[in-house]
Structure 1
């Protein structure tokens, strides 16, 4: 009978899917990995607006002020990185990292059109100098979603002048730090940049398309400009991995600039699979309610390597938020999260994915675009309750230090978070296949 036939076919499919579910990436032990090479770039990430404090007029200071009744927390002086950066650089050095990522803020350097603030120049000069003196490479982001108030007044990315103004600013920064072995990032997460402007300015569809085209054009011009000034530098624009929306996210910039990248910067926070769709909490801002899917990073790295096989990959941001620093109800710790993600990076590298670096987001807690509640820091800071802004180490500090020293997870490591079935990052590979397990290194 047709009904029975359909049921039989459905049952056969379910049996196949259940069987495929047992053929997930083996989370057995470290034999499926390789040690990180000695020249692997371990790092930490942060950004100017989110951490500096004492911030001048900008689109984001205006958004926070205008939405005072809607944002959860006032900006205040964030974690005051602007005045505490020497100590924070020492914290990074103590981890053993070789890369320190931050942003050089246009709003701080050029608070009025054509006027560069000497104090801001001196601050960034000393910041970059100290990063280098601590044995780390600067990874400098030229645009982490923030632009000067006067740019907002002229229409931001709606106005074609902004592209030239941005490139003029970028040219100044690149010329100033061209001899500092900088890893350059043009735009941080273009898809998220557009989304934030869409929700905060706000933008209509025409403005969204105008901004997207402007970012693509400006990145392409910036890539060529940077290579003229700093020929041996590596340039990228890090992408935000967006699970079900990833195709849309990549259309923001990545799809149009693959020929203007020297490495692919990947930001991975959340994956999803058919056993875990908690990434939906990102839509409500309750980031701490998301159950991490560390194995998703493995699939993301594999997929992007297939798409751009000639480019090395760099995990520019990866981290886990907690709710105001409180332990997660499921007992999963920041240390567990770090161990698990490093394990899956090693698995990808063992299978030929050329990963050149990894940055933890972030060195300290900071202002998460309207709230201090999501805590991402290796060092936690109670901005709202601790006037001293003391940096307190989390359990991930000794873990990261050990991972760097040992060049990966210890022998016999078994991921705390078991891989879920059928990852959105690679449905075909994770639902019906299994990555080969290489011999022990």
Structure 2
């Protein structure tokens, strides 16, 4: 998934938001709402080129080596067809910097040809590419130069980003410059790619690169949309501190607010804290109304900005099970219900991406499964894609622009959710 939970010290910040919350009926999301799927190059492609993350994998800093993952590199056509058959209109992917620029200033025609083919197939299937330029991965030669410890790293990222934009602006993509930049910084610190004294240098470099690429997109792709998605951490009061690092400083160059939301926490259930530390996310309970609170919070924090849900999904264990019995289809329908509620209550939410189309390498191992399609990357040499129960559910959702008006979630909201702040205690989400 895009967000691996980090256990950080909570900072309690209570600020109430004032968007109304209760409504009797839940209409569909409307024909203009866009459903999508999401993935990332390093996690799914296989045959990765030298990069910071390939080194972390091969050096034993991660539990399992990435290997060739689910081999999207060769199986992309089938996966794009599966997405098309879901009825989605957005296909999120990333362009791996190391694949197209394996050495400084050397651009690989074969690397470009791969993405040329993939993006054309996405467009031909009637979907809009959502292209991520940096999903936490940068080339090994940048590591050798010092990575984000070096101020000029931002300039190299701008050169790469502008080249990608120039090559694919014809496809009218939605652009994500940096995936979850707070997590990118944290992980570089954790794995030793960034010296602690240079953390703010990396923050400043990411913001510099984002703003420059945003300007370039708007110069060459009129009407283009650019953002950098937020990793929403379910730790009471923490999120405003994280937002101060990136989205608050980028706000005038965010054409929409992109958010990744997965987990929940409440006064009565803090299981995500312990399971986030162990990596066994499937043991954490789920409260899908958390999405409602997150959307409500962001609409109040960034008024006038439309919102795109860049990642959301449900994690299971390697066998596709969860201790709480929550299945993928029910969780998906329940989440869409709460998105519809938020939209009905005035939140300008434009799209929703499911993470992920297939199971893949979850930034360290293959144990967590998030895929609409199950793939056993460790034991099945054919890497066959098997549909989960959520495939049929998603097809029904996209066909009807949401869940029916009379749909009710399979689980009641938990009291006093702390995903955003204490406003859920005073203004709770109510199923009607």
Does the pair score TM above 0.5?
Answer: yes
The DSSP-based 3-state class of the residue aligned with 2:171 is coil
For residues 246-280 of structure 1, what are the alpha-carbon distances to aligned partners after superposition, in whole Å with 9 as ceiling and x for unaligned? Answer: 22332331121111111111100012111221121
The TM-score with structure 1 as length reference comes to 0.90
The 2-side partners of 1:243 and 1:311 are apart by 22
Whether 2:90 is the aligned partner of 1:99: answer yes
Partner of 2:223: 232
- 8 Å Cα contact 1:32/1:437 also seen in 2: no
**CA-based RMSD:** 1.7
The 2-side partners of 1:215 and 1:254 are apart by 11
The 1-side partners of 2:185 and 2:243 are apart by 12
- Measured at CA, do residues 434 and 370 of structure 1 come closer, stay the same or move farther in structure 2, by a change above 3 Å? closer
The 1-side partners of 2:429 and 2:71 are apart by 45
The 2-side partners of 1:145 and 1:221 are apart by 18
Whether 2:418 is the aligned partner of 1:424: answer yes
The TM-score with structure 2 as length reference comes to 0.92
For residues 87-122 of structure 1, what are the alpha-carbon distances to aligned partners after superposition, in whole Å with 9 as ceiling and x for unaligned? Answer: 000000010000000001101000000111111111
How far 1:25 moved relative to its partner? Answer: 7.0
The DSSP-based 3-state class of the residue aligned with 2:183 is helix
Whether 2:324 is the aligned partner of 1:333: answer no
**Mapping 1:272-283, distance limit 5 Å:** 272-280=265-273, 281-283=275-277
Whether 2:46 is the aligned partner of 1:53: answer yes
Partner of 2:197: 206
Whether 2:386 is the aligned partner of 1:392: answer yes
The 2-side partners of 1:223 and 1:212 are apart by 17
Whether 2:404 is the aligned partner of 1:410: answer yes
Whether 2:227 is the aligned partner of 1:251: answer no
- 8 Å Cα contact 2:174/2:226 also seen in 1: yes
- 8 Å Cα contact 2:343/2:349 also seen in 1: yes
- Measured at CA, do residues 388 and 308 of structure 1 come closer, stay the same or move farther in structure 2, by a change above 3 Å? same
How far 1:369 moved relative to its partner? Answer: 0.9
The DSSP-based 3-state class of the residue aligned with 2:170 is coil
Whether 2:285 is the aligned partner of 1:291: answer yes
The 1-side partners of 2:163 and 2:194 are apart by 30
Greater Cα radius of gyration, structure 1 or 2 = 1
Whether 2:127 is the aligned partner of 1:153: answer no
The 2-side partners of 1:261 and 1:226 are apart by 12
The DSSP-based 3-state class of the residue aligned with 2:131 is strand
The 1-side partners of 2:244 and 2:316 are apart by 30
Equivalent residues, number? 410
Partner of 2:102: 111
Q: Show structure 2 runs of 5+ residues with no match.
A: 1-19
The 1-side partners of 2:391 and 2:272 are apart by 26
How far 1:288 moved relative to its partner? Answer: 1.0
- Measured at CA, do residues 437 and 283 of structure 1 come closer, stay the same or move farther in structure 2, by a change above 3 Å? closer
Whether 2:185 is the aligned partner of 1:194: answer yes
The DSSP-based 3-state class of the residue aligned with 2:36 is strand
The 2-side partners of 1:417 and 1:48 are apart by 34
- 8 Å Cα contact 1:378/1:393 also seen in 2: yes
Q: Show structure 1 runs of 5+ residues with no match.
A: 1-23
Whether 2:130 is the aligned partner of 1:136: answer no
The DSSP-based 3-state class of the residue aligned with 1:179 is helix
Partner of 1:270: 263
The DSSP-based 3-state class of the residue aligned with 2:132 is strand
How far 1:426 moved relative to its partner? Answer: 4.2
The 2-side partners of 1:76 and 1:303 are apart by 39
Find the partner of 1:382 among 369, 376, 380.
376
- Measured at CA, do residues 330 and 271 of structure 1 come closer, stay the same or move farther in structure 2, by a change above 3 Å? closer
- 8 Å Cα contact 2:231/2:259 also seen in 1: yes
The DSSP-based 3-state class of the residue aligned with 1:375 is coil
- 8 Å Cα contact 2:149/2:194 also seen in 1: no
The 2-side partners of 1:196 and 1:252 are apart by 15
Whether 2:72 is the aligned partner of 1:81: answer yes
The DSSP-based 3-state class of the residue aligned with 1:315 is strand
The 1-side partners of 2:140 and 2:365 are apart by 21
How far 1:429 moved relative to its partner? Answer: 2.5
Of Structure 1 and Structure 2, the greater helix share is in: 1
How far 1:284 moved relative to its partner? Answer: 2.0
Partner of 2:8: none
The 1-side partners of 2:109 and 2:194 are apart by 34
- 8 Å Cα contact 1:325/1:380 also seen in 2: no
Partner of 2:315: 321
Partner of 1:165: 156
Partner of 1:10: none
- 8 Å Cα contact 1:33/1:349 also seen in 2: no
